[in-house]
Amino acid sequence: MAVSIKRSGVVANLSLTPLIDVVFLLLIFFLVTSRFEEEERRLNIVLPSATSAAPMIHRPREIVVDVDAQGNVYLRGQPTNFEELRRVLASAVVNNPVNQSVIIRADASASFQPVVNVMDLCNQAGITDYSVTTRDGPLGAN
């Protein structure tokens, strides 16, 4: 006794239009709600390379300090001096005493002294979570 299977016409008439609409709505939602960091793209800084550089996966509460090739220091894309930076770091520690982090973006051709000065200001303010940003690549590459 052979069993015959009746094929349904429902699968043949499945419309993908609602699924595509939902995907486009999700795409638009994420594009609109994403916050893009313009302050990191304002300055033309060539990052030094390191063999163990890793991309950031999530957005922590951080302060980005830029050092250009001439050794000028920028905070939130605006030129600043070390006294102003010390004040901002101290107030950031008051607002976020445990998780405050500082990202130092220094140009590869900048002297090391301004970077050390920024690290010293972080230590004086009580921030131990600071790092110098690099890009992935062979050592010594520009």
Specify the pLDDT at position 32.
82
The pLDDT assigned to 113 comes to 92
Kindly give the interhelix angle for 82-95 and 112-125, rounded to the nearest 10 degrees: 40
d(CA 102, CA 79): 17
The pLDDT assigned to 53 comes to 59
Regions in the chain scoring below 70 on pLDDT: 1, 7-12, 35-43, 51-60, 136-142
- Quick count: other Cβ atoms within 10 Å of Cβ 108? 15
| pTM (2 d.p.) | 0.57
Average of per-residue pLDDT values in the chain: 80
Check residue 60 and give its pLDDT.
47
C-beta of residue 100 within 8 angstroms of C-beta of residue 92: yes
CA 56, chain centre distance (Å): 6
Supply the pLDDT for residue 52. 65
Question: What pLDDT does residue 57 have?
Answer: 45
What pLDDT is stored for residue 59 in this prediction?
A: 45
Span 94-110, pLDDT tens digits: 887 777 889 999 998 88
In contact, 114 and 73? CB cutoff 8 Å: yes
d(CA 136, CA 71): 23
- 116: enclosing H helix or E strand: helix 112-125
* Contact between 125 and 90 (Cβ < 8 Å): yes
N-to-C CA span, the chain: 77
Residues paired with 103 in a beta bridge: 64, 131
What CA dihedral angle connects 38, 43, 49 and 52, to 10 degrees? -20
Protein fold of 49-136 = Nucleotidyltransferase; domain 5 (3.30.420)
